[in-house]
Structures are given as structure tokens and as C-alpha cells.
Structure 1
């Protein structure tokens, strides 16, 4: 496009060589420099400023041709605003003016120059591909960035909700979901049960085999629990070796049956060392405490009731499920 605008002006060969270097050599040099820079982002901002300056330079050499000047400045300023917002756009305008002044100085010193305010059909046809291709390229890049941003946003959302070791819901997000279940239960009147479960003698496992082996066991137990639960049954890691399970629309006998199924599934597992498969696998068990939701109690009271049932299972010998039994006040 610039070449089609320069051609009627009969510019010397060195101007064409400069145009070739600017259009076909400089982009590769800029890419090479950015890849090897310690701060590629800032380096590319500098390159965009140099591009804006070169745009002003070619506007002067094109004799301020309206079509060519508007198109090249629009492209370069669009780059600036897309890469650095309004601030980089203003810097691009300033550097374009500096390039324009440099171009005028070169023209006055070495070239015969005149205004070139008309655009013949060759110039128009040469500008048409850029008018079509460049906005499509910008749109494609913007769409790709938007998809990357969406993907990163979803990843951050996932990381903020899940436990890094087991992949289950973390405590804060699990409690948020359970509070929503409580509100739903209060409206519908459907039963809701809470199950707290704890790995038996887990401190001894860590002390004997190391925390790495303990982490593996927690991961394997989490996988076992997930396999034996339905999708709507809300499982989370409550902290340390303790897990929490909320069973919506589930009566107390059904919740006890679910708890027993989980307990038996863990008790029959062989926990092999993923890094040392030659070592003998370990056996583990879990204790579980159940508490049904009662209208009028707080979430903290509900959690405390399930915790008391869990402690009862521990006191009675572990590897068992216990239901909370409220005691009368003296």
C-alpha cells in the first residue's frame, strides 16, 4: 500500500530499500529481540513506539496522501491501544508526530516533495486488502485473548474452590455450597444429613512412613470416596485428614447406609506407594459421624453434632459409623 502511494512520486532507490527493510526485515529483528529480552512485554511496547514513529515517517514521504496516511496510522495506533490501552495510544501519537517531523526533514534535505492528496485506482486497490485483512487479524487475536482469559478465569475459579492435594472442594467453598443446601432444605422440607469422616491413626502413618506417603493415602481415599458417591452428593476436604459429606434429600437410614458403604470401601483398599511399588501396601480405615439437619439449629451446631458423633466412633474403637445422639441437659 505504501509502495503504491510512493510510486507516482518517483522516489529514489534508497527510499524503496528503506521501505523493504522496514516492512520485511524489521519485524523479524523485533521478534528476535523480544524473544531474547528479559522483559519481552516492555520490549514489545518499545517496538510499537518505533513502528508508530516509522508510520509518521512514511506519512511524510507519501505526501500526506489521505488514504495511505489514515490507513497506516489507524493500523499502528490500533496496535498501541490493543497492547497498552489509551496511555500507549497517546505515546504512539506523539512518536508518530516525531516520525512525521523526521520524514519532513528528510524530504526537505534530500528529496523533491509535494502534496499527494489524490488517490488513483491503483492506490485504492492496494489499500483494500489491508482494510479487510487487518481488522480480521485484530479480531482473531482479540478472540484468542478473550478465550485465553476465559480459560484462565475458569482455572482460577477452580483453584479457589478445590483442595490442591485431593482435588475435592476445599472447606470454604464446600461450606458455601452446604449453606445453599440448607436454604433449599428449609424451603422444601426434604431431609439433609451431614457426615464427617476421619482417617484412623493418620498421625501414626505420617510418623512411621513420612508425610509423602500420608499425602498419597489422602489422595487415594479421596478418589475412593468420589468413586462410591453420586454426583450430587457434596464431598469436600474439611482439613488435615478429615473429610465432610453433605447428603441432600437423604434420610438418616439412607445416609447411614452411604456411610457404611464408604467405610467398607476404604477398609478393603490396599494403599500402595506410587513411588515405591515394591513396598508392601498399607491398610487404612475411617471413622464416620452422622448428624441430620434439624430446623432451627445453626450450621455450627449441626457441624458440632456430627463432630461429636465422629468422636463417639473414635471412642468405640474406630472403623465404624455413629449417629449423633442428643443428650438431655442436667
Structure 2
């Protein structure tokens, strides 16, 4: 968790910088109020609210990765903190009557911050729903699947073939399309050679979680062998499968995986292929998928 806070230190620095600039601005334009004239109830109320907003901001930055939702929550809480902070400054510094900009500093950031917070919480809600659905999918996977890969853990090649045969029969019976997508990491052997097999295993686990998060509830992800994954897509035609394969390749390419030892970001990419089921059995469909993947990797090698 502390490492996440380090990633967000610029955001925290910007909030504290804005608070200090407001303090300097008040000191330059006004005069300090003697302690005997302080209103302790207002100080505790407004100052305590500002400190709570700052504490909430710290908790958000400590527990969340970078992204749009984190940025919205940070901006919202930063504005709320700034509004309460400038309101609290009036309890210590008396500004001349002709000064009006302090009202803008106190009033404008608050509704803006609350709007940003609301928008951020809305997206956070949808993010949590997606995570809950993924957890439900994983629980179902653990409960129902018997043939697991020990590393990821995903169903292996044996389960994929059994499930594919059942899905093909169901596809024919219901008259619905069925497709497969293969995802094969590029230059995975180089990662094992340079960083060791433990780091290679960590990459496979990270890619597994990434692929799972990008699937639908009815899809099935299996680890076929090594660094090759196969996704079973019920009720999915050729065009949709090809589009999903491209999305998987982009997701792997944008995965910000860092080595455990040195924190070095590993550039990842994947070759993908898709195949829609025709009048064939499971082995024939898998063979055609593997041929399409081999052509994709050959094209990558020629373009390199």
C-alpha cells in the first residue's frame, strides 16, 4: 500500500501546494487575529472538516492505483479540502472589507468538488460491480472445474477439450455460433532467461487476471500450455471474436507489469488468433485455431 501512495505523491503535493498558496495569499492581504478573538467552535468545526477531507484523500491515494476514478476522487476531495481550508483561514486572518476573492475561494471549490466526487463514486460503483462479477466468476470456476493449472489457476487443456465438445453440441442444437480465441505471449522465453522462471510465473499470473477481467460472464478462459491461453466464447460469431482478440492483445500490451526485484517495467505483447466453429469436432477446431495462431506469430516474426 505505501508504494501506491508514492505513485500519487505529485497529486498530494499539488493539493498541499494549493493550501499553502491560499495561506500565503491570506497573510499577504490580511492581518492575524489575536488568539483572544478566536472562535474555537468554528476552528474545530472547519479545521476538523478540512483535516478529515485530507485524511480521506490520503486513504484514497494509499489504496487505489492510478486511473480515471482515482483522478476524479482526488480532484473532488482536493476541492472539498481546499474549500474548508480557506474557510478555516478566516478564523485566524482578518481580511479587509474590500477583499472579496476569499468568498470565491471558499464557495466555488465545494460544489465543484462534490460534483467530481459524485461522478467518481459513480464510476467506482460500476468498477466494484465489475470486480464482484469477476469474483463470482472465479468462485464458480473453483467450485465447478476439476482440472486446474497449478500456477494460474485456470482449467487446463483436458478440461478445455471436454467443455469445447459439450459447447459444440450445444451450439448445433441451439443454432448459435461458437468461437475460440488464442492468446500467446511474445518472447516469453526471453523473460524467463533474463529475470528467472519465478518472474515468468508472475507475468503469467498477471496476464491471467487481466484476461479474466476482460471477459464476459459466459466465457471460459483456459491455459492450453506454457504461455498460451484459449478463450471459449459461446454465442459469438467470427467478427465479434476477432474484435475481442484484438482487445486482448491491446490489454496485454498496456499491462504495466513490473519486476519484483528491480521494479522494471516489462514490455509485453501477445499474438492472437480467432476461429469460429464450423462443422467439425473439438480437435479439428483447436487444430485450425493453432494454425491461425502460428500464422500470426510468423507475420510478427517477419515484420520484426
- Could you tell me the TM-score, scaled by structure 1's length? 0.47
Picking from 167, 170, 183, the partner of 1:181 is 167
1:162-241 equivalences in 2 (<5 Å): 162-241=148-227
1:22-101 equivalences in 2 (<5 Å): none
- Residue 157 and residue 248 in structure 1: after superposition, are their counterparts in 2 closer, same or farther (change >3 A)? closer
Instruction: Report the counterpart of residue 258 of structure 2 in structure 1.
Output: 272
Displaced runs of 4+ in structure 1, greater than 4 A? 154-159
Picking from 271, 275, 294, the partner of 1:287 is 271
The separation in 2 between residues aligned to 1:192 and 1:180, in whole angstroms, is 11
The separation in 1 between residues aligned to 2:199 and 2:275, in whole angstroms, is 31
The separation in 2 between residues aligned to 1:157 and 1:219, in whole angstroms, is 20
The separation in 1 between residues aligned to 2:143 and 2:237, in whole angstroms, is 32
Gaps of 5+ in 2: 1-139
Aligned residues: 164
Gaps of 5+ in 1: 1-153, 321-330
The separation in 2 between residues aligned to 1:215 and 1:307, in whole angstroms, is 23
- Residue 194 and residue 159 in structure 1: after superposition, are their counterparts in 2 closer, same or farther (change >3 A)? closer
- 1:98-117 Cα distance to aligned partner (Å, 9 max, x none): xxxxxxxxxxxxxxxxxxxx
The separation in 1 between residues aligned to 2:241 and 2:232, in whole angstroms, is 9
Picking from 288, 295, 298, the partner of 2:281 is 298
Picking from 209, 229, 239, the partner of 1:253 is 239
Please state how far the C-alpha of 1:241 moved relative to its aligned partner. 0.7
1:96-135 equivalences in 2 (<5 Å): none
Please state how far the C-alpha of 1:298 moved relative to its aligned partner. 2.1
- Residue 175 and residue 205 in structure 1: after superposition, are their counterparts in 2 closer, same or farther (change >3 A)? same
Please state how far the C-alpha of 1:161 moved relative to its aligned partner. 2.5
- Residue 158 and residue 207 in structure 1: after superposition, are their counterparts in 2 closer, same or farther (change >3 A)? farther
- Residue 284 and residue 184 in structure 1: after superposition, are their counterparts in 2 closer, same or farther (change >3 A)? same
Please state how far the C-alpha of 1:279 moved relative to its aligned partner. 2.6
Instruction: Report the counterpart of residue 297 of structure 2 in structure 1.
Output: 314
- Residue 234 and residue 155 in structure 1: after superposition, are their counterparts in 2 closer, same or farther (change >3 A)? closer
- Cα RMSD after superposing both structures: 2.4
Looking at CA atoms only, which structure, 1 or 2, has the larger radius of gyration? Answer: 1
The separation in 1 between residues aligned to 2:152 and 2:281, in whole angstroms, is 28
Query: For the Cα contact (< 8 Å) 2:149–2:156, is it kept in 1?
Result: yes
- 1:259-291 Cα distance to aligned partner (Å, 9 max, x none): 111110110111112x32x43110111111211
The separation in 1 between residues aligned to 2:276 and 2:158, in whole angstroms, is 21
Please state how far the C-alpha of 1:173 moved relative to its aligned partner. 1.6
